[in-house]
Amino acid sequence: VTGVLVTGGTGKTGAALVGRLRGAGLPVRIASRHPATADPDAIRFDWGDPSTHEAALRGMDRVFLVPPVESVDPLPLVEPFLRRARRSGVRRVVLLGSAIVLPNAPSALELAAQVRAEPGWVVLRASGFMQNFLRPHPLGDRIHRLGEIRTAAGDGRVGWIDVRDIAASAAALLEDPEVRAEDGDFLLTGPESLSYGDTAEAITVHTGRRIRVRRIEPDEQAAAYRAAGLPAGFAAALATVEDGIRRGREDRVSTTVLDLTGRPPRTFARFVSEHANEWRAN
């Protein structure tokens, strides 16, 4: 046994994973740009500062990899890290990838291909996160402020997944790095696929607050994302993704969470009932 370097270790998925790995008695190292000084397992790590990578990897034989967020081109920052991980004998990398492929972002696909190519290294292709419906995500923020979901996805459905089920699946793959890597690629979804209309109805039922869905066109959505501060290329890519959802591209579910963890993934209804207070107007 050595241990698991958890990049994005302070994020939603990474923090849930750290809790699970600690519960299983595995040593963890929590990577962050702002490591908690009180936590001896925390280490400074920045994708943009390669000088932080070696110390983060030292002595660790497994890695949970959360690539740089809000980037359509993660490869230049992650590739040198992967080389270093190979050299230092990392047995398993679990990449938090996405089921949704951003247009004009071949770099993310190439990153996934590089991870899959290494024996024992695996890619999680995660569906849309249920936690996007919570603040501080822009979707959750808008629901909270205005009681509204604004989308270009129409009635298209997504197999929304709770990040805790991603963390549980990653934990299963990291606790025993020898197993379950046959094809190196796992599509991770919740138990059912739901449209934004379905999700709005679930929140309405559990909170008593009526949540509306406002349908807009992809170009309006891109403009809204830019106005919210996203880089233009990323805003356009996200809007195109919503158009893909409208066409049914993300309407799929898998049994991966059950297969890896022995437990079915959480339903959207359960997620909503657990977080109902967060959407009540105040």
* CA angle (225 as vertex; 234, 253 as ends), nearest 5: 70
Q: Is 8 in the site for ligand NAP (CB under 6 A)?
A: yes
Tokens (6 digits) for 93: 């990398």
Q: Is 12 in the site for ligand NAP (CB under 6 A)?
A: yes
The answer to whether residue 68 forms part of the interface with ligand NAP (CB under 6 A) is: yes
Using CA atoms, how far apart are residues 96 and 126, in angstroms rounded to an integer? 7
Q: Residues binding ligand NAP: what is the number (CB under 6 A)?
A: 25
Least Cβ distance, residue 194 to ligand NAP (angstroms): 13
- Comparing CA positions, the residue from 115, 189, 122 lying closest to residue 159 is 189
Residue whose Cβ sits closest to ligand NAP: 11
Please give the Cα distance from 173 to 150 (Å, whole number).
36
Q: To the nearest whole angstrom, how small is the minimum distance from the Cβ of residue 178 to ligand NAP? A: 26
Determine if 121 is a binding residue for ligand NAP (CB under 6 A). no
Rounded Cα distance between 55 and 68, Å, is 18
Closest contact distance (angstroms) between CB of 77 and ligand NAP is: 8
Site string for ligand NAP, 13-32 (x = CB under 6 A): xx-----------------x
DSSP state of 102: P
C-alpha 231/C-alpha 248 separation (Å) is: 26
Q: Considering only residues 132, 204, 240, 267, which one is a binding residue for ligand NAP as defined by CB under 6 A?
A: 132
The yes or no reply on residue 64 touching ligand NAP (CB under 6 A) is no
Q: Which of 5, 18, 60, 67 binds ligand NAP (CB under 6 A)?
A: 67
Q: Are 159 and 190 in contact (CB under 8 A)?
A: yes
The nearer residue to ligand NAP, 9 or 244, going by C-beta atoms, is 9
- 14: nearest Cα among 144, 136, 171, 138: 171
> Binding segment for ligand NAP among 67-75, 148-156, 208-216, 264-272 (CB under 6 A)?
67-75
Distance in Å, CB of 30 to ligand NAP, minimum: 9
Residue in this structure with the two tokens 């349908």, named with its chain if needed: 215
Can you give the binding site for ligand NAP, defined by CB under 6 A? 8-14, 32-34, 45-48, 66-69, 96, 98, 126, 128-129, 132, 163
